[in-house]
Structures are given as C-alpha cells and as structure tokens.
Amino acid sequence: MSLLVVGSVALDDIEAPAGNVKSVLGGAACYCSVAASYFVRAQAVGVTGDDFPQAHLDFLASRGVDLAGVTRAPGRTFRWGGRYHSSLNQRDTLFTDLGVFERFDPVLPASYCDAPFVFLANIHPTLQRSVIDQARAPRFSAMDTMNFWIEGERAELERTLSRVTGLVINDEEAHLLTGESNLVRAADAIRALGPTTVIVKRGEHGALLFDEAGIFAAPAFPLREVQDPTGAGDSFAGGFMGALAAGGSLAVDAMRRAVIYGSVLASFCVERFSLDRFRTLTRAEIDERFEQFRRLTSF
C-alpha cells in the first residue's frame, strides 16, 4: 500500500525556548512523508531549490520515502522562519521566502498515479485539485489548507473540497472556513461542502474526528518537554494517513485507530527540533505510545 503526499519541502529557522536552529529540514511534505513512512511507502511530491542539502534527501530516502516526485529547480528552497512564545501555543512567523515553491506545479510520476491514499498538504487549492485530477482513483483523499486560502481563494477551495474525502485542519481554520464558533456545527458545515471525514486538530488539546459514525475525541499526549511544535500537524496527518493506508480499511475503528497513530506521531515530532526525533524513532516506540494512549483515555 502506498500514500501519495504533496506539499512543501523547506528549510526552517526556528526560535524556541529550548534553543534556536537555522536552515533545518522542514516542510509539510517532509514531516508528513516521514511520519507515514513507519506504516507505508510514502510517495512524495515537492520541489527543492539547488541549495537543498543532499543529506536531507538521503535522510528521506533512508526512511523509504519515494523521491521520484521531488524535483530540483534552479533557485532557492522555500524557507520559513518562526519564533515560539514561552507557552509554545503561540508563534510569530519571522519570514517566508517562497523561492522555487512559488512556481511549484505538482506533476505526478506515472508510478504515483495509482496511489490509493492521497494527502494534499497545504498548497494552493487549485494545485491540490490538479493532483486529484492526476491521481486515477484514490480510495481516500484528504487535504489540509490555511487561512490564506480560506480568505483569499474561497471559490477554488470549495471546488477542491468537493473533490476530497477528508479535511484535516486546525480549529481556527475550521471556524474561519465556516463562520461557526461551535466546532460541532463547523464540522457539519464542512461536511456539507464535500468531505465525509473532518479532523480538527487542536494542538496540545488533541484532535476531533467527525464522520458518519459520530464524533471521536483523541487527546494530545501529555509531554513533560516540548522542544519544537513545528510540523506537529503534518506529522499527525502522516501518521493518520499512513496507518489508514497500511490497514486498508475505512471502517469506524480503523479511522479512530489512525487518529491515535496520528496523535502518536505528532507527539514524537515535537520532542525534538525539525524532524530530528524521526532520525531515531522506531516502530516499537510508536506502538508502545499507542498503548499509552489507551491507558491515558480508558475508564
């Protein structure tokens, strides 16, 4: 089973109470592919500049990520800088240099077009739709988006939403997209736009899954130390989509377990800067934390 992942490949500068790092591996496609790689073969689609270190590509390849869809363009890689406040719940964007990502036009290698599971990370909704058009018949396709597209490209976004099975966004985006301050009604409104499955990410408060079966609430794993929240949402999406693709079932129980796996991957992601935790993380550690989630929630 494979999972197609489209999104940014980036070099990040991060300032956080635990330290500052510069030009580290980042980008939604990287976080999502690597998180998914513990479950399935991830087929990444993205673009790097000619300044992108080979060592980062080697790391992605070492996780089994298929890089046939990652092209190299003349120019600079997408760079993003962020500074986290002491609570880690708030961050300021210090800069966004799109570089070669500005002209990103995802083209699927022929070997990707039959991917049964597809995740469209946060890119222009028109590009997300072009990927759906290229994929032949995914069994389950989900997307992320952001306030920029919700406010500036609503018509395109709604056209794309009508083409996917799932939407994975955060609570602020859910409110912005629907005008509903109540999350249950917001999820109803989103499902009326197309996606049958809506996952609302709430950072340290966990995630909510809304689908035909009702509502499932997953907590975030309570961590004693968080170094860098960057990529938590994309790691969640990768763990969720990867676990779903590996199981091959879209039944209620499979969805719920996949949400927990997403939460597990997000919880590991934030323990270190960049994707560093994934450099040592094992599947056994993932399964152990999955069981810790049972103890965390059982009554």
Q: Is 212 in the site for its own copies (CB under 8 A)?
A: no
Nearer to its own copies, 20 or 182 (CB): 182
Nearer to its own copies, 283 or 295 (CB): 295
Question: Rounded to an integer, what distance in angstroms lies between the CA atom of residue 35 and that of residue 225?
Answer: 20
Q: Is 136 in the site for its own copies (CB under 8 A)?
A: no
Question: Rounded to an integer, what distance in angstroms lies between the CA atom of residue 78 and that of residue 197?
Answer: 30
114, 253, 287, 291: which one contacts its own copies (CB under 8 A)? Answer: 253
Taking residue 88's Cβ as centre, other Cβ atoms within 10 Å add up to 17
137, 212, 225, 284: which one contacts its own copies (CB under 8 A)? Answer: 225
Question: CB of residue 195 vs its own copies: minimum separation in angstroms?
Answer: 18
Q: Is 90 in the site for its own copies (CB under 8 A)?
A: no
Q: Is 192 in the site for its own copies (CB under 8 A)?
A: no
**DSSP β-bridge partners for residue 92:** 83
Nearer to its own copies, 85 or 136 (CB): 85
Q: Is 88 in the site for its own copies (CB under 8 A)?
A: yes
Q: Is 217 in the site for its own copies (CB under 8 A)?
A: yes
Which DSSP letter does residue 111 get?
G
Question: CB of residue 253 vs its own copies: minimum separation in angstroms?
Answer: 7
**Burial tier of 293 (Cβ tally within 10 Å: 0-12, 13-18, 19+):** buried
Which span (68-76, 151-159, 243-251, 288-296) binds its own copies, by CB under 8 A? Answer: 288-296
CB contact at 8 A, 132 and 118: yes
Q: Is 154 in the site for its own copies (CB under 8 A)?
A: no
Q: Is 18 in the site for its own copies (CB under 8 A)?
A: no
Which DSSP letter does residue 224 get?
S
CB contact at 8 A, 184 and 193: no
86, 93, 280, 282: which one contacts its own copies (CB under 8 A)? Answer: 86
Nearer to its own copies, 76 or 256 (CB): 256
Pairing, β 78-84 against β 10-16: parallel
First CA to last CA distance, the chain: 35
CB contact at 8 A, 92 and 83: yes
Nearer to its own copies, 89 or 111 (CB): 89
Q: Is 215 in the site for its own copies (CB under 8 A)?
A: yes
Nearer to its own copies, 45 or 198 (CB): 198
Question: Rounded to an integer, what distance in angstroms lies between the CA atom of residue 217 and that of residue 206?
Answer: 8
- The mark string for 165-184 relative to its own copies (x by CB under 8 A, - otherwise) is ----------x-----xxxx
Backbone angles phi, psi at 112, to 5 degrees: -95, -15
Which DSSP letter does residue 50 get?
T
179 SS3 class: coil
Q: Is 297 in the site for its own copies (CB under 8 A)?
A: yes
Query: How many residues are recorded in the chain?
Result: 299
Interface residues with its own copies (CB under 8 A)? 86-88, 175, 181-185, 202, 204-206, 208, 214-219, 222-226, 253, 256-257, 259-260, 294-299
